[in-house]
Amino acid sequence: MFLIHGFPMHSGVWDGFAERFASDYLIITPDLPGFGQSPILPEGFTISDVADCMLQFLSDQNIRDVAVIGHSLGGYVALSMIEKKPEIFSALGLFHSTAYPDSAEKKTSRDKAVEFVKKNGAKAFATNFITPLFADPTHAAIERVKQIAGTSSADAVIGYTLAMKDRTDQIKTLKSFKKHTLFLAGDKDPGIPVDTVHRQASECQKPEIHVLSAVAHMAMFERPEEAVSKIKGFLDKI
């Protein structure tokens, strides 16, 4: 399983989660370019450019027939990878993610985030950004995720914010992908309403949907055992 982290995090967000699969699956948790230990791409990069980097990594390691599951931003990257090379993937998972592009309102929000980072820095942005990702604003994992997000540079945060803003509609990719597609959502996720998840699933050839209760955008922390169980059940079928 190729497990791609979200924004503005790095692969450390999977610590304690990915290990739950280790006895049954080979798990690969890369750092997206510009996060963690991975160098950033040149200014003006796109989600498609990030996907190319991830595909090159898989090619270099001679990895095929792999299930790719992306959390949030990671899902956008996973969809672009599927669009380019569907034949090398055995399944797709959107973990609190969506194939829809940003709305006009969301694009405006992205622009405001860029201006905030330019003025206040990436660490200040991470401090404000993380808590709303949890249904419980007092969740014990919030500080840990803030620490992870706080390692991101301003260039990475700005670059990915603009890349997400400009990403393309990937519903066509969902429609054309012939293999199993998992949607793991939270009933309290303000960014990805449950009704939009069901609409996307209706476009897929082999969809599977799980909506976790009392979860916003961070099920790997909010409901880790349930999230692992749903993903394992999905992988076992393929």
| Dihedral of alpha carbons 233, 230, 93, 27, sign | negative
126 assigned to some structural domain? no
| Range list of H helices, 121-213 | 122-130, 142-149, 154-165, 171-176, 194-201
Give the domain range for residue 53.
2-100+168-237
Give pLDDT, residue 27: 95
Question: What backbone torsions phi and psi does residue 105 show, to the nearest 5 degrees?
Answer: -65, -40
230 assigned to some structural domain? yes
Domains held by the chain: number: 1
CB 172 within 8 A of CB 146: no
Task: Mention every residue, 6+ apart, whose C-beta is less than 8 A from residue 141.
Answer: 134, 218, 221, 222
Task: Mention every residue, 6+ apart, whose C-beta is less than 8 A from residue 194.
Answer: 185, 187, 211
Summary mean pLDDT of the chain? 97
Query: Distance between CA atoms of 186 and 73, rounded to whole angstroms?
Result: 16
Closest CA to 57 of 81, 79, 74, 36: 81
CATH of the domain at 75: 3.40.50.1820
137 assigned to some structural domain? no
Give pLDDT, residue 193: 95
Secondary structure of 15-69 as H, E, C letters: CCCHHHHCCCCCCECCCCCCCCCCCCCCCCCCHHHHHHHHHHHHHHCCCCCEEEE
Q: What is the pLDDT of residues 148-198, one digit of tens each?
A: 999 999 999 999 999 999 999 999 999 999 999 999 999 999 999 999 999
Give pLDDT, residue 49: 98
Give the dihedral of Cα atoms 199, 202, 205, 208; nearest 10 deg: 80
177 assigned to some structural domain? yes
At 126, the pLDDT band (50, 70, 90 cuts) reads confident
Give pLDDT, residue 169: 98
* Cα–Cα distances in angstroms (integers) from residue 102 to residues 75, 76, 108, 192, 220, in the given order: 14, 11, 9, 11, 24
Two structure tokens written together for 78: 């996973």
156 assigned to some structural domain? no
Query: Distance between CA atoms of 100 and 1, rounded to whole angstroms?
Result: 24
**pLDDT(127) > 90:** no
| Dihedral of alpha carbons 81, 82, 88, 89, sign | positive
Note the pTM of the prediction, 2 decimals. 0.97
199 assigned to some structural domain? yes
**Mean pLDDT, rounded, for 50-54:** 98
**Mean pLDDT, rounded, for 118-145:** 95
115 assigned to some structural domain? no
At 93, the pLDDT band (50, 70, 90 cuts) reads very high
- State the amino acid at position 158 in one-letter form: I
At 238, the pLDDT band (50, 70, 90 cuts) reads confident
**Mean pLDDT, rounded, for 116-127:** 94
120 assigned to some structural domain? no
Give pLDDT, residue 8: 97
Closest CA to 78 of 66, 86, 68, 87: 68
